[in-house]
Every structure is written in C-alpha cells, then in structure tokens.
Amino acid sequence: MKRLPVIVGVLLPLAVAVVAYGSPAAPAAPAVGPRVGDDETPAVHPSRAAVDRLLQAFNDHDVDAMLAGVTDDIGWYYVQDAAVTVEAEGKQALRKGMTGYFKAIPSARSAFEESMVSGAYVTVRERASWRQQEQDLSQSSLAVYQVRDGLVARVWYYPVER
C-alpha cells in the first residue's frame, strides 16, 4: 500500500499526515440550496465564508491567496488518537508545505461534503481527490477550522475515513 504525505497534506485534506491510496473518487455531494418557500438564499456565516475562501485558493493551487486567508500564526495540525502532529506553524511553513504539495500532486482538489458552524469554529467533512497513474482517487476526513478576525487561524485534521 502506497502512502502519500498530506499537507502537508491537504487542506488540506488535505491535511492528513499520511494518506493511503484507495477507492475511486466518489461524486461530489450535491449543493444544498434554499428550502422550498424560502424567498432568499440564506446568508453564509462569516467563519464559513473565510473557510470557503481558503478552500477556493487551495483548489486554485494559489498559495499566495491561501496565505492571504490565514493569520500570521496559522497552525495546521493532524490529530491521531491523543497525539497532535504539527504540520505547519506560521505562514512560511504553510507556504513551503503547500508549494511542495501542489508540485507533488498537481491534480489535488478538495470539497466540503458536510459542515457545521459554531461561532469561530467550522467543522467539515472534507473530501480530497487527485489523479494518479490514470486513476481517480479520493479520501474523506474530518477537519475543524478556527477563524479569527475573518482569517483562518487553526486547522485540525483527523484520520482519513476508509
């Protein structure tokens, strides 16, 4: 079984320290729109909007835009049982990790399948996908983003769902 470093792994789905290659890509979850009878599309919570901007920059492979969407002291962590591994601390470490990641996996993309917002915290089930050796691959992971002053300050990734 091959393993792939994730941020250092994806947002990023992203950012799981080690990614196992596995099942073919699953179709993206359908977008959830307004309910029948709603006159307007609901407003997006500011914390979710900040995380969505970071996701878009990731999908564009735009490291500068990613850095513009995070705090100077950004912390990117992988949580496994009781252990927390530092993937990146600070913008320069994130730049280095994401630049290498996009170079190694030019087809990397990510999408949120589910999300929940609680103030400054956005919890998502995130599906990372990429293409390798003419095969579409994907994995899903839980991530929690903390937003401060409209910028992502912390990201915690949990083990990949198999």
Q: What fold does the segment set 3-22+45-161 form as a domain? A: Nuclear Transport Factor 2; Chain: A, (3.10.450)
Query: How far apart are alpha carbons 6 and 79 in whole angstroms?
Result: 13
The CA radius of gyration of the chain, in Å to the nearest whole number, is 15
Query: What is the pTM (predicted TM-score) of this model?
Result: 0.75
Q: What is the pLDDT of residue 52?
A: 97
Which are the contacts of 43, defined by CB distance < 8 A and separation ≥ 6? Answer: none
- Report the sign of the C-alpha dihedral through residues 92, 93, 97, 100, in that order: positive
| pLDDT in single tens digits along all 162 residues of the chain | 333 344 434 443 433 333 333 333 434 444 444 444 455 556 899 999 999 999 999 999 999 999 999 999 999 999 999 999 999 999 999 999 999 999 999 999 999 999 999 999 999 999 999 999 999 999 999 999 999 999 999 999 999 986
Query: How far apart are alpha carbons 76 and 16 in whole angstroms?
Result: 10
